[in-house]
């Protein structure tokens, strides 16, 4: 492999000839354990937005000339188009401020910009990082990437889930089945009512995330190293935030307190808490589906689900609820990520939180898993569930909790006698009521009408 020599404040270092990064990125490649957990590309794109907005603002204030501004903007656009993904190799486990990744982006923009210009016009620190510090650029990119991923991927998945559950609710609103609480038989419901509970979970989870994500609209950019705004031109924070808002279509604005913006990551804890609430509800929906489809002969068997692949390497004909299992594993991972984000956010020492790469890695993983995992669950499972009406009717008629409908007529104690006698002697509720002399068949039939109990 051919190399070139790059220099930084620590001296010279060899860099692969065909890579756009510079000395600081190369040092990072050798100084940190090379794991599979790379800095998410969404963060790189977020930093490209920051660099573009900063260049536009610095030019507007007269601090940066138009030629250099145009070069920075051109390379940022190339990054945002995914043309330079290969040039961002760094792992998550680096300095807690994300300095190495910030410099990786600065160096790639400078090197590629100079290549376009045919001369050395851009310096990674003096021009690309102008009016910034890693300490405010990195958290600003965190906010940008987090909000964009939620709006671009998670919300559409939730909207599709709401549409599908709404259709399923309507299709199944007249189908009666037994309800269940504590994994035990309960009073009747319609299958449509059961599905309506799933739909409302998605609606409310989306509302919670929509409200929470607004906390990420406040940007740290302009605080530079410790929140004082050292080396920024007048009005830089507000102008830069306005540029970011225009570039993204999101109403970002400058944080009124940069000391808070640099040191606290409570907003990520808050938003991820809403993601965890979604994960908890998706766990419940997936578990309901696999419980209801259990069997097919020795379980509940009240619904069928799509048969996507063989379920066993040894048991022929076995089909498993694989999409449910995938989604519940995702839910567990998100709950684990929530703990990681929460603990990491507590590590804001003095003027800076130094667990930021970990926070954004886990946060974006949660968004990605919830978005993609739920989308596949919808396409490969939920949209294809079908009620087994015969099994639902059989279970409904066997349920001892239909006896609850007798309470207004004979009282709780007498109704309990009927249920206990039926269970003990393997009788139907009607047979039990008549054998105990509490009701006639006609009375029982007039009182117990499942369709009137929902």
Q: Is 418 exposed, middle or buried (0-12, 13-18, 19+ CB in 10 A)?
A: buried
Whether the CB-CB separation of 262 and 223 falls below 8 Å is answered with yes
Reading the block at residue 146, the tokens are 């987090």
Whether the CB-CB separation of 91 and 348 falls below 8 Å is answered with no
* Cross-strand partners of 218: 253
Q: What are the CA-CA distances from residue 275 to residues 191, 270, 330, 405, 415 (Å)?
A: 27, 9, 12, 40, 44
In whole angstroms, what is the distance from residue 278 CA to residue 273 CA? 9
At which residue do the structure tokens 């680096």 appear?
94
> Which residue among the candidates 9, 182, 313, 451 is catalytic per the annotation?
182
- Residue 145 annotated as catalytic: no
Task: Compute the C-alpha angle 119/122/125, nearest 5°.
Answer: 150
Q: Is 302 helix (H, G, I), strand (E, B) or coil?
A: coil
Q: Is 185 helix (H, G, I), strand (E, B) or coil?
A: strand
In whole angstroms, what is the distance from residue 120 CA to residue 111 CA? 8
> Which residue among the candidates 14, 312, 435, 446 is catalytic per the annotation?
312
Q: HSE on the CB side for 434, CA within 13 Å?
A: 11
Q: Is 38 exposed, middle or buried (0-12, 13-18, 19+ CB in 10 A)?
A: middle
Tally the residues of the chain.
Answer: 454
Q: Is 355 helix (H, G, I), strand (E, B) or coil?
A: coil
Q: In whole angstroms, what separates CA 390 from the centre of its chain? A: 38
- Residue 182 annotated as catalytic: yes
Residues recognised as catalytic: 182, 312
């Amino acid at each position: 492999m051919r190399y070139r020599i790059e220099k930084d404040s620590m001296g010279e270092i060899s860099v692969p000839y065909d890579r756009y990064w510079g000395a600081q990125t190369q040092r990072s490649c050798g100084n940190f354990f090379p794991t599979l957990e790379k800095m998410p590309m969404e963060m790189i794109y977020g930093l490209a937005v920051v660099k573009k907005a900063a260049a536009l603002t610095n030019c507007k204030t007269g601090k940066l000339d138009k030629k250099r501004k145009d070069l920075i903007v051109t390379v940022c656009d190339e990054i945002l188009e995914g043309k330079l993904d290969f040039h961002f190799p760094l792992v998550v486990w680096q300095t807690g401020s994300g300095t190495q990744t910030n410099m990786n982006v600065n160096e790639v923009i400078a090197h590629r910009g100079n290549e376009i210009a045919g001369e050395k016009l851009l310096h990674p620190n003096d021009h690309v990082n102008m009016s910034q510090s890693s300490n405010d650029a990195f958290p600003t990119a965190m906010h940008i990437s987090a909000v964009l991923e939620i709006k671009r991927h998670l919300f559409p998945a939730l909207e599709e889930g709401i549409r599908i559950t709404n259709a399923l609710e309507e299709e199944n609103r007249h189908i009666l089945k037994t309800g269940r609480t504590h994994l035990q038989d309960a009073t009747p419901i319609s299958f449509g009512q059961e599905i309506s509970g799933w739909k409302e979970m998605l609606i409310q989870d989306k509302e919670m995330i929509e409200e929470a994500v607004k906390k990420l609209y406040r940007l740290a950019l302009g605080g530079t190293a410790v929140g004082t705004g050292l080396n920024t031109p007048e009005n830089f924070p507000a102008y830069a935030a306005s540029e970011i808002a225009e570039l993204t279509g999101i109403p970002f604005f400058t944080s009124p307190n940069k000391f808070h913006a640099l040191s606290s990551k409570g907003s990520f804890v808050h938003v991820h808490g809403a993601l965890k609430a979604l994960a908890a509800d998706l766990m419940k929906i997936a578990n309901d589906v696999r419980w209801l489809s259990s069997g097919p002969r020795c379980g509940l068997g009240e619904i069928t689900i799509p048969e996507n692949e063989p379920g066993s390497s040894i048991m022929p004909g076995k089909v498993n609820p694989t999409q449910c299992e995938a989604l519940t594993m995702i839910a567990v991972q998100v709950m684990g990520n929530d703990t990681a984000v929460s603990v990491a956010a507590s590590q804001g020492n003095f003027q800076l939180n130094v667990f930021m790469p970990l926070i954004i890695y886990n946060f974006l993983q949660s968004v990605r898993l919830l978005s993609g995992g739920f989308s596949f669950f919808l396409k490969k499972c939920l949209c294809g569930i079908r009620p087994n009406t015969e099994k639902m009717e059989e279970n409904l008629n066997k349920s001892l909790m239909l006896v609850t409908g007798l309470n207004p007529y004979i009282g709780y104690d007498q109704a309990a006698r009927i249920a206990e006698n039926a269970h003990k002697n393997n009788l139907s509720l009607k047979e039990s009521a008549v054998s105990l002399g509490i009701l006639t068949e006609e009375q029982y039939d007039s009182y117990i009408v499942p369709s009137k109990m929902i």
